[in-house]
Chains A and B, each alone.
Chain A
């Protein structure tokens, strides 16, 4: 019950002036139920990486296994895979097209060949999961606010009942309040449904608070992989590639350098506070 990548390489427009290696020998395994953050700078290959997970982009070389089966095998059902691994693109509200919210969310289940009734049931369930108010179900998706549009778009993927949810920069372009709301909602989703959630972001601060594991991408390759605490221990290397650890990491390391007896692995403000209190006690 997992996704595994084995030595995946991907080259854009091979043989032209625009040739570019977007992924370099990436191998990783994501077990079912994990909450993973993929972090990297713009152009580090993180978006390309996640498009491999549901077969939208085909690796130039390497294998991808979903639940133990190679997705590049002859006759592999890609549409089934896409309903299992739900991918929410960056600015997903740009994909809305239906006349009202409910029918837009129904698009995914309808493509799975479900009956109208079942589609609506799942759509309502999905809209409920993302906390979308019921009174707007019949409204045009184009008349909603940015944050609400994004909820609808995420629900559009959730309605297919995927086992894995991949979100590409789900907070891009939202204000701090909208950002926290969406991320809290995702966290709740992960807890309630137990699905695997893969969160792509360039902001450490966003991710550190929620995920149990961080994968850092740099120039198409996997640079670091571990729990937030482990990854942020390399904060100097992270800085070199243009990323930063959360503010608390710096505070904790500074305190430690000045002689405080504490472990600098705290990743959230609450953890840090506890750790400082402990060392002072």
Chain B
């Protein structure tokens, strides 16, 4: 049941995207997100779709997974679409009844907004699907390294992030186990009103907190036993190094960015109202 959450999860596979340096994936994802905002034209979205499609294909992550990752934003998506549809005015009126009016601009904005939001989530989930949590924090740490000069504890923050990420699946599994153990003792989490249900959570939450603290304690002890003392003078077993394929990926993405910028801005192509 709880295992089925996909957002922010790593999908193990052997692909060109998986093998890229995590820094490349972080920066290219950011560039992709930027690219969605520097233009607002049909052709621009077509180019973004092609880019996203190619990346998904290369990553070997099943499309089903990415679509599943969109589920949590469905409500936000609907809200945005409805709001834009009725509240954005301008252009020719398309539909009008009672106090509701849908205009050309409204339809246009709401469709583009929806696509933009979905691509935002899909683009970033491709990054998390193809990069292990450790890879991600390694990449972040290296990218943010310059901030060390202004006294930002980059290494510590990165370590905290990787520990937090590492513990998500562990605690999920633990929750699953505790739930089952309490169900074996006749606990019921499905029926009753909201207060009864909240009360029914106590037998899960207390053991879960206890176990989280116990694990944190054990981990701290294990780290100290290995003489961990923070980032100073610490070297990596596998330092990140750009390879030819990483440079290719940068070139590919920058080329895409320029293309979408130029096309979005200077090519005037319209299909009906879009």
Question: A-side interface residues toward B, CB under 8 Å?
Answer: 13, 17-18, 51, 54, 56, 79, 82-83, 86-89, 92, 94-97, 107-108, 111-112, 142, 156-157, 160
Q: Does B217 contact A (CB under 8 A)?
A: no
Given known A97-B206, A142-B210, contact A111–B186 (CB-CB < 8 A): yes
Name 15 extra pairs, CB < 8 A, besides A54-B184, A82-B185, A107-B182: A13-B3, A51-B180, A79-B188, A82-B186, A86-B184, A87-B184, A94-B174, A94-B178, A95-B203, A96-B207, A97-B206, A97-B207, A97-B210, A107-B185, A160-B186
Q: A17 touching B180 by the CB < 8 A rule?
A: no
User: Is B181 part of the contact surface with A, judged by Cβ < 8 Å?
Assistant: yes
Chain B residue numbers with a CB within 8 Å of A157 are 184-185
Asked if B183 CB lies within 8 Å of chain A CBs, one says: yes
- Can you report 22 residue pairs joining A to B where beta carbons are below 8 Å apart? A13-B3, A56-B180, A82-B186, A83-B186, A86-B184, A88-B184, A92-B181, A94-B174, A94-B181, A94-B210, A94-B211, A95-B203, A96-B207, A97-B202, A97-B207, A107-B185, A107-B186, A111-B185, A111-B186, A142-B210, A157-B185, A160-B185
The chain B residue sitting closest to A91, CB to CB, is B177
CB of A44, distance to nearest CB on chain B (Å): 18
**Contact flag A79-B184 (CB < 8 Å), given A17-B13, A142-B210:** no
Selected contact of B203 from candidates A17, A88, A97, CB within 8 Å: A97
Q: When the two chains form their complex, are residues B178 and A111 in contact, meaning their CB atoms are under 8 A apart?
A: no
Closest to A97 in B: B206
Verify A89–B180 contact, CB threshold 8 A.
yes
Chain B residues within CB distance 8 Å of chain A: 3-4, 11-13, 174, 177-178, 180-188, 202-203, 206-207, 210-211
A112 contacts B186, C-beta separation under 8 Å: yes
Docked-complex contact B184 and A56, CB < 8 angstroms: yes
Residues on A with C-beta less than 8 A from B211 are 94
Pick the contact of A95: B4, B13, B188, B207 (CB < 8 A): B207
Least Cβ distance of A134 to chain B in Å?
22
Residue numbers in B under 8 Å from A112 (CB-CB): 186
A51 to chain B: which residues have CB within 8 Å? 180
Smallest CB separation, B251 vs chain A (Å): 30
Q: Which residues of A contact B183 (CB under 8 A)?
A: 56, 82
Cα-based distance from A133 to B3 in the complex (angstroms): 40
Return chain A residues, CB-CB under 8 Å to B203: 95, 97, 107
Smallest beta-carbon distance A103→chain B, Å:
11
Whether B185 lies near A156 (C-beta < 8 A) is yes
Query: When chains A and B are docked, how far (Å) is the Cα of A196 from the Cα of B20?
Result: 56
Nearest-CB residue, chain B, relative to A159: B185
Min Cβ gap B229→A in Å is: 30
CA distance A79 to B186 in the complex (A): 6
| Interchain CB contact under 8 A, A108 and B186 | yes
Smallest beta-carbon distance A93→chain B, Å = 9
Collect the chain B residues with CB atoms within 8 Å of residue A160's CB: 185-186
Contacts of B207 in A (CB 8 A): 94-97
Q: A83 — which chain B residues lie within 8 A by C-beta?
A: 186
> Considering the chains assembled together, what is the distance between the CA atoms of A62 and B11 in angstroms?
31
In contact, B180 and A111 (Cβ under 8 angstroms):
no
A89 cross-chain contacts in B, Cβ below 8 A: 177, 180-181, 184
Residues of B within 8 A of A142 (CB): 210
- For A17, list chain B residues within 8 Å (CB): 11-13
Complex-state Cα separation, A156 to B181, whole angstroms: 11
A86 to B98, CA, bound (A): 63
Contact A95 B186 (CB under 8 A): no
Chain A residues with CB under 8 Å of B4's CB are 13
**What residues of B have a CB within 8 angstroms of the CB of A96 in the complex?**
207
Contact at B3–A95, with CB atoms within 8 Å? no
CB closest chain-A residue, reference B64: A15
Min CB distance A19 to B, Å, is: 12
B241 to chain A, nearest CB (A): 28
Max chain A C-beta neighbours (<10 A), residue from B3, B186, B203, B211? B186
Interface centre among B11, B177, B181, B207 (most CB of A within 10 A): B181
Instruction: Please indicate which of the listed interface residues B180, B185, B188, B203 has the most CB atoms of chain A within 10 Å of its own CB.
Output: B185
Residue on B nearest A51 in the bound complex, by CB: B180
Min C-beta distance of B168 to chain A, whole Å: 15
Enumerate chain A residues within 8 angstroms of B174, measured Cβ to Cβ. Answer: 94
Q: Given A17-B11, A97-B203, A97-B207, is A111 in contact with B181 using a C-beta cutoff of 8 Å?
A: no
Give the 7 A-B CB pairs with smallest separation, nearest first. Answer: A111-B186, A97-B206, A95-B181, A108-B185, A87-B184, A89-B181, A97-B203
Which chain A positions have C-beta within 8 A of B188?
A: 79, 111
Give, as a whole number of angstroms, the nearest-CB distance from A32 to chain B: 20
Complex Cα spacing A111 to B196, Å? 13
In the bound complex, what is the Cα–Cα distance between A222 and B167 (angstroms)? 34
Cα–Cα distance between A95 and B206 once the two chains are bound (Å): 9
Residue of A nearest to B203 (CB): A97
B206 to chain A, nearest CB (A): 4
Q: How far is the CA of A116 from the CA of B47 in the complex (A)?
A: 68
- A89 and B183 CA atoms in complex are apart in Å by 11
In angstroms, Cα B177 to Cα A83, docked, is 18
Query: Once bound together, how far apart are the Cα atoms of A87 and B182, in whole Å?
Result: 10
